[in-house]
């Protein structure tokens, strides 16, 4: 479960996120959307404990990220938009390293099915420099899933993937949500978010504009139109501009 209360983040006089509150429960997939510069990535990084919040309260799986960061991070996984890998570790060595960091006993038994699921088992002894972008992304995700996180944060996970990769990524996210994980997913690909997300939160200039199930948010901005999609909801909610 993710509980956010009054999250606030500023850089000097600039406020990136202002008084943000929401809850995501196990099994839910929250789509975090907003124009460029809305504060999506900043929000995700605060939730994952990468940067300290300027104010507010964030609880991950019942642990306060500020007061119990180690316990909270044990339950979460963060997947950045650009896969961050170590150039000198092979695929297998990446999983070995992450297993030790997260104390995943007998990680080989978990790692092999992950490599098979993401179809990179035959690349196990290759370096990231020998992998395509899609494969790097899959390796980064396999590393994040090794310790069976209860909470997952995805920042633009579909960028750079081919259609088959996008399909598999969506299936993987839905599968983990069904298994009880709590997922927050940030992306500009709204029609794809519609297929995966159960809830949506729209940000603009650091502030929450709308938050709820897809149906609830659509109803708020649809003016009675039953066929409005997420893209139209988004454009109405944000006024069609970044400012």
Partner 1 sequence: MLNALLYLRFTSLKNWLISRGRRLRQPKYLLSAIVGCAYFYFFFFRHLGRDAAHHGRNAAATQAMNDLVETLPADWHAALMAFGAFALLVFLTLMWVVPAQRAALGFTEAEIAFLFPAPITRRALVHFRLLSSQLRSLAGATVMMLFSNRWSILGGNALTHTLGWWFIFSALNLHFSGANFTLTRLADLGLSAWRRRALVLFFILVIIAMTIARLPVDARVPAMGNAMDLGPVTSWAIALTTTAPLGWLLWPIKLVLAPFVALGLRDFLVAFGPAFAIITLHYLWVVRTAIAFEDASVDYAQKRAARIAAWRAGDRRMGGTPTRGRPAPFRLASTGRPEVAFLWKNLLSTWQYFNLRVLLGGAAAILAACIWLNVRADWRGFLPGIAVPVLILAGYTLIVGPQFARQDIRSDLVNADILKTYPLSGWQILLGELLTPVVILTAILWLALLTLGLTFHAVDARLDWLTAELRVAIGLGLAVLVPPLVTLQLLVPNAAALVFPGWFHLARTRGGGPEVIGQRMIFFFAQLLTMAFALLPAVGVGALIVVISSHFIGTTVAVTIATLFVLAVLLAEVWCGVWLLGQRFEKLDLSSELRG
DSSP-assigned states of every residue in 116-137? HHTT-GGGTT--GGGS-HHHHH
Choice from 2, 18, 22, 78 touching partner 1 (CB under 8 A): 78
- List the interface residues with partner 1, window 44-73 (CB under 8 A): 45, 48-52, 69-71, 73
Choice from 86, 148, 175, 216 touching partner 1 (CB under 8 A): 86
Tell me the closest approach of the beta carbon of residue 83 to partner 1, in angstroms.
10
Tell me the closest approach of the beta carbon of residue 19 to partner 1, in angstroms.
20
Choice from 67, 101, 164, 215 touching partner 1 (CB under 8 A): 101
15 binds partner 1 (CB under 8 A): no
Stretch that binds partner 1, among 22-30, 80-88, 201-209, 219-227 (CB under 8 A): 80-88
- List the interface residues with partner 1, window 134-193 (CB under 8 A): none
197 binds partner 1 (CB under 8 A): no
- Measured N-to-C along each axis, helices 133-145 and 163-178 cross at an angle, to the nearest 10 degrees, of 10
DSSP-derived pairing of the beta strands 14-24 and 63-64: unpaired
d(CA 199, CA 79): 19
* Residue with Cβ nearer partner 1 (33 or 99): 99
Size of the site for partner 1 (CB under 8 A): 38
Choice from 57, 93, 112, 222 touching partner 1 (CB under 8 A): 93
Burial of 214 (0-12, 13-18, 19+ CB in 10 A): middle
CA dihedral 24, 149, 115, 163 (to 10 degrees): 10
d(CA 156, CA 113): 24
Tell me the closest approach of the beta carbon of residue 54 to partner 1, in angstroms.
10
Burial of 102 (0-12, 13-18, 19+ CB in 10 A): middle
* Residue with Cβ nearer partner 1 (101 or 215): 101
Q: What angle do CA 143, 118, 136 make, to 5 degrees?
A: 60
**Residues near partner 1, by CB under 8 A:** 11, 45, 48-52, 69-71, 73-74, 76-78, 80, 84, 86-90, 93, 96-97, 99-107, 125-127, 129
């Amino acid at each position: 479960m993710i509980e956010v209360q009054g999250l606030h983040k500023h850089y000097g006089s600039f406020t990136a996120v202002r008084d943000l509150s929401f809850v995501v429960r196990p099994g839910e997939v929250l789509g975090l959307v907003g124009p460029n510069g809305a504060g999506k990535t900043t929000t995700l990084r605060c939730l994952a404990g990468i940067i300290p919040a300027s104010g507010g309260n964030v609880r991950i799986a019942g642990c306060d990220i500020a007061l119990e960061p180690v316990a909270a991070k044990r339950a979460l996984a963060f997947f950045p938009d650009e896969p961050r890998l170590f150039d000198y570790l092979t695929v297998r060595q990446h999983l070995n390293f992450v297993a030790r960091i997260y104390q995943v006993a007998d990680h080989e038994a978990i790692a092999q099915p992950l490599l098979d699921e993401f179809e990179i088992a035959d690349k196990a002894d290759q370096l990231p420099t020998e992998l395509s972008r899609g494969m790097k992304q899959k390796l980064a995700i396999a590393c994040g899933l090794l310790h069976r996180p209860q909470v997952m944060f995805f920042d633009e996970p579909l960028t750079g993937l081919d259609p088959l990769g996008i399909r598999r990524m969506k299936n993987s996210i839905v599968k983990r949500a069904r298994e009880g994980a709590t997922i927050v997913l940030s992306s500009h690909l709204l029609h794809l978010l519609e297929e995966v997300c159960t809830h949506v939160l729209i940000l603009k200039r650091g502030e929450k504009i709308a938050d709820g199930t897809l149906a609830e948010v659509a109803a708020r901005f649809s003016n009675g139109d039953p066929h409005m999609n997420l893209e139209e909801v988004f454009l109405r909610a944000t006024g069609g501009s970044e400012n």
